[in-house]
Amino acid sequence: MSLLSFAFASFVSLFTVTYALQVPHRITGNSALVREYYEKKYATNVPIDIFFIACYLWVSFQLANLLGMNTYVEQIVVVALTTATLTSLFCFYFRSYPQSQNFFSKWFHQVGYSSVVYDVILLKTVYIIYMFMQSKTKM
């Protein structure tokens, strides 16, 4: 994975999906939590998101390679399914315990599985921009 292409794709996707289009506001219906995470504490939370994006894509790339998925369409499906599975597992985990002051506990208790839709949109966008950058720069 090219670090420069990944960084560009992540920042462009986060800006476009989260800030410009306000997808998490629209999907989750919980603007207060979205503002808390992406506006009030963006300096610490955006790097956390980029870390999670990298982890999700790494798992997706490993699965795609393991399954022999070579086309972009197949790989996008793997990214979407991996993202949906991982976020669903996190949601299930946090909702299995009483809500705490931890942001992710509040997030999953209040927005539930609608967070899966947001994550799938975000990760697919990162992946598509990443692959576009890779094809144009040969990095």
Q: 2-54 pLDDT, tens per residue? A: 899 999 999 999 999 999 999 999 999 999 999 999 999 888 999 999 999 99
Instruction: Please name the residue ranges forming H helices in the chain.
Output: 3-13, 23-28, 31-35, 42-67, 72-95, 103-111, 114-137
Is the CB of residue 60 less than 8 Å from the CB of residue 52? no
Domain that holds residue 103: 3-137
Rounded to whole angstroms, the Cα distance separating 129 from 69 reads: 19
For 79-133, write each residue's pLDDT tens digit. Answer: 999 999 999 999 999 999 999 999 999 999 999 999 999 999 999 999 999 999 9
Number of structural domains (the chain) is 1
Is the CB of residue 38 less than 8 Å from the CB of residue 23? no
